[in-house]
Chain A
């Protein structure tokens, strides 16, 4: 019986080594599929210098045009080295899967003894025989682990895409606010020039001139702060896109940031999130894994160290003597119960984590929707009411200026106020866009 099993085992070994498991490429392709809805298409895994060069080419081509949000995400997906590190998790999991499918190597022993001119040589082969039985189990675990890794890599891809989108929005806002601020500063400058001339002509007190000057200087400080913010926002974007050197000289697109009214309610979004979220799916796989692991421990608690051995002994002048042996652990001290209860605890832990993840995701969806809804309302109020109002106020002030009912300072002041309100409106629009990126990540798909 033992001989038969040994033959079968050897056949299985041959089969396993001959049949490759799921390849890294396939696993990576499934990440591509998983993330395609959210712009994760055309991921690229840099494994060779050639691939690195091709990514460089693609990045260069994408940066040659004014950078849009979509292209920023594209660059991040192929060029962000943190993401590349994550991709290697697939390699690791895949290797572990291959390893799991391999039987433990047999131990070949040879010993020789001499006494009184008699030589006894012993050749032995020890096979951890039961290991062969556990291979399919281990492979199942390995598959699960690879799937879980794939999902978790996918999740990281989407998370990074969201972060790249948000960094892009921040960079755009900082740049556009800088432009608006330049006009505000110019207006302050005009006020100051007039005040200095009025002062010189004897029409304005020094105090009042200094007040105008002070306002101008404050605005100048404000514009420096904005320049600083702009630099920081741009560097955050550079970092997430993995850009350095001359690559960083790109320009940002000036296409207007859009604002689409979200659906009236969040109904259905929670369900979508539970189905789509890759971290959710990964958590489910973790539970499966823990369950299998617990079963595996249970089944092998006493027998996982069973070993078969064949010994062939030859003593000078004597007939070869073959011995078949078996080693069994005696469950005298360790019944394996500790390992079993530990894996059960791990399993329970994973089940609770799955629940927690589901509850949290549902809450995040509701919160994210409310956030999107409110930021949308704020952004719309800014665009459709507050900015327009200030535009009209400026127009009316122009009439007051024409009638000499107001002076040039009021006119310039209202012009600046319009600029400031436009900056606030930009911030509101940015908040909305970031809320959208957050919610799309949260539900695991496009809104």
Chain B
């Protein structure tokens, strides 16, 4: 086999994880759809691939000539060397993606997942990308940001004939730059991207020491409109999305980024949603070092704690992890850190309702009615934790439990966990941070 060992390991781990989670994922789906006598058909096609996005178990090894990226809740696509060409096989197909425990979505994606696996290669590599279309409609792949021959740009109708269902096309070009790129369809984009067709394309510099970091993370921003109680995103939605995700996962289902004190860390973020996202990291200022246009010259970098990532853009930022702790990293549009919510829910802030509880309960004797919203929405999470049911396959608006209580987040939110004793090259979750005495805010006596 021409597989690079770490790629093999990576794929193997992903598949093992899939198998391990398979039964659990089915059970959880069963629980949520359990009250229905007929199991719901979760896709338009038969036998969709079910890769339910486990936490990443890939531990990248030091490469021959590059340090591999860690794709949050994802994996890198293996390749075969053929006469000096790195050959990647890509299958575009319907998949079922678990966005977080309790929610699965009918997506379209690549090689069993949405977003598809990260394509990793090195500047100067010649790559051959063999794309088979198993979607119900034609597609193409556009290699976003890469410099390549015009006929390889993947714009249906303009630079190539669309790939019809069942057909296989070959793209082949030499990687002339390094940096952070993306791939996505350029045929019926509105639908195919709304359904989750996208992935990252990382090109490492030829010189291994150039732009070297200790840990390199990447993920895509993707938004979906999955109406409460449904399974399939609405592909015609333009602004009213209700699922905001990092790599099609929502908090608390998103991997944390676990690093060792002193590590130089790069986080690469691509935005394939229809709005901008101010990504904010706590605890450390960072510098933007790379865009999909290439590396930012050192002299042009400036310090930030929030970087706004526009639609169709990539930003990579770097910092040295000096501050121990569990640090939030999230989109600063607050509704992007929430699960689905009703847009027309009446404003009950400051409205007394308790005395109407009995009246309303009388009207609905089989239902445990609780008034909501008087003091804000924080009680929402309490209610969910108390076991109040919400529609099937729907995530609560706010959730997540931390060592001090509910975190009240959902959507584009995760953690950067900085630990002194995190072993080198170990990406596993160290658990909650144990704060030294006297370093936690406390109630004033």
Contact = CB atoms under 8 A, between A and B. Distances in A.
B390 interface: yes
Given A193-B356, A404-B373, A203 B346 contact: yes
A197 interface: yes
A403 B242 CA distance: 13
Nearest to B229: A396
A404 B341 contact: yes
Contacts of B373: 404
B9 to A, nearest CB: 40
B388 interface: yes
Given A186-B362, A404-B341, A204 B346 contact: yes
Interface string B373-396: 100010010011000111110101
Contacts of B345: 404-407
B389 A399 contact: yes
B408 to A, nearest CB: 13
A190 B350 contact: no
B377 A404 contact: yes
Interface string B343-365: 01111111111001001101110
Given A400-B228, A403-B340, A407-B345, A203 B351 contact: yes
Contacts of A403: 228, 340, 342, 380, 384, 390-391, 394, 396-397
A204 B377 CA distance: 18
Interface string A389-416: 0000011101111111111110110010
Nearest to A406: B342
Contacts of A401: 372
Given A404-B342, A404-B380, A194 B364 contact: no
Contacts of B347: 198, 203-204
> How big is the B interface, by class?
35 or more
A197 B360 contact: no
A190 B359 contact: yes
B363 A415 contact: yes
Interface string A158-191: 0000000000000000000000000100110110
B356 A400 contact: no
A204 B388 CA distance: 28
A412 B360 contact: yes
Given A404-B342, A404-B345, A407-B342, A197 B363 contact: no
Nearest to B344: A407
B356 A201 contact: no
Interface string A92-109: 000000000000000000
Given A190-B359, A394-B364, A407-B342, A399 B351 contact: no
B367 interface: yes
B391 A183 contact: no
A420 B353 CA distance: 25
B370 to A, nearest CB: 8
A187 B363 contact: yes
Nearest to B338: A404
A204 B347 CA distance: 8
Contacts of B342: 400, 403-407
Most buried by B among A398, A399, A404, A415: A404
Most buried by B among A202, A399, A402: A402
Interface string A109-144: 000000000000000000000000000000000000
B390 A402 contact: yes
Nearest to A405: B342
A405 B364 contact: no
A253 B277 CA distance: 66
Nearest to A184: B363
Nearest to A197: B351
Given A190-B360, A399-B392, A402-B389, 5 more contacts: A194-B353, A203-B346, A403-B380, A404-B397, A411-B364
Interface of A: 183, 186-187, 189-190, 193-194, 197-198, 201-204, 394-396, 398-409, 411-412, 415
7 contacts: A198-B347, A201-B351, A399-B391, A402-B384, A403-B228, A405-B345, A415-B364
